[in-house]
Amino acid sequence: MADVGGAATRARKVKWTVLDVVVVVYALLPVLWIASLSFKTEATLGDGHLIPREWTLENYATIFSTDEFTRALVNSIGIALIATAIAVVLGAMAAYAIARLEFPGKRLLVGASLLIAMFPQVSLVSPLFEIERVLGLFDTWPGLILPYTTFSLPLAIYTMSAFFREIPWELEKAATMDGATPGQAFTKVIAPLAAPGVFTTAILVFIFCWNDFLFAISLTSTEASRTVPVALQFFTGDSQFEDPTGSISAAAVVITVPIVVFVLLFQRRIVSGLTSGAVKG
């Protein structure tokens, strides 16, 4: 890659390598630290060494031996997957309309979803708490899926409509000319072309749902729907006799693994997904 001012010299390469190292240390140190804690034995937890002196898998065995964590993990996975699926389907429909069709009310929808993206979620906690209590949704999966879907819809709509704008129009026109209805043109022609954008959006939405803490701690009260981020917080409470640091660290590592896998496999997609929605023209 040619930089401004000509060829890359050795000094420049060294400079960039140093910068790379700084960035890598910056990004990974907190993650490595908690991973290291999760592999330490109880006796060495407080020794302050980044690389454990005594390795153990006991912390992982502990968390998987109780319902408290496994149940929360199932809740986290189930709720995030369902919310992602709904948000992506509804978002794709709306994004298609925004990218491809002219209809009154389009600007209103775009503006409204922008508002929701900026919405202070804590403002919804009190009314949702009361509404869900009355409707019987409090402390259930749907009780979390609803706000997750809602707050990921703006992200889904923005990201996908940006992707959809890049899809060649002519193919859809050709299909309609060959007698396909607009609906058929969508499912048969555009949908396959749109798949990569949809997939990228799904990753971003999943990360968002997986991350949530505020709704999860406010709208749940038992293991029935408590997700891992909240369960971690409760590990701390009931353990006067055993230090929960090891368990919390192990659980933290378990829910970090999917994120690391996504990032390693789909770095390019995630970057393009995050940036495409943000800068338009």
Between residue 124 and residue 153, which ones bind other proteins under the rule CB under 8 A? 124-131, 146-147, 149-150, 153
> Do 273 and 263 meet the contact criterion of CB atoms below 8 Å apart?
no
Distance of CA 102 to the CA centre of its chain: 31
Q: CB-based burial of residue 125 (10 Å sphere; 0-12 exposed, 13-18 middle, 19+ buried)?
A: middle
Binding-site member from 59, 91, 202, 247 for other proteins (CB under 8 A): 91
Q: Per rule CB under 8 A, is residue 252 in the interface with other proteins? A: yes
Beta bridge partners of 6: 3
Q: Binding other proteins by CB under 8 A: which of 82, 90, 171, 193?
A: 90
The yes or no reply on residue 88 touching other proteins (CB under 8 A) is: no
Query: Is 104 near other proteins (CB under 8 A)?
Result: yes
Q: Locate tokens 């060829």: which residue? A: 7
Using CB under 8 A, pick the residue from 59, 159, 218, 247 that binds other proteins: 218
180 sits near other proteins (criterion: CB under 8 A): no
Spatial separation of the C-alpha atoms in residues 91 and 160, rounded to whole Å:
8
H helical segments located in 101-140: 106-118, 122-135
5 belongs to the binding site for other proteins (CB under 8 A) = yes
Distance of CA 85 to the CA centre of its chain: 13
Q: What residues numbered 61-80 form the site for other proteins, per CB under 8 A?
A: none
Q: Which residues pair with 40 in a beta bridge?
A: 55
The answer to whether 224 contacts other proteins (rule: CB under 8 A) is: no
- The interface region with other proteins, picked from 57-65, 106-114, 167-175, 194-202 by CB under 8 A, is 106-114
User: Which positions from 17 through 46 interact with other proteins, judged by CB under 8 A?
Assistant: 17, 19-20, 23-24, 26-28, 30-31, 33-34, 37, 45-46
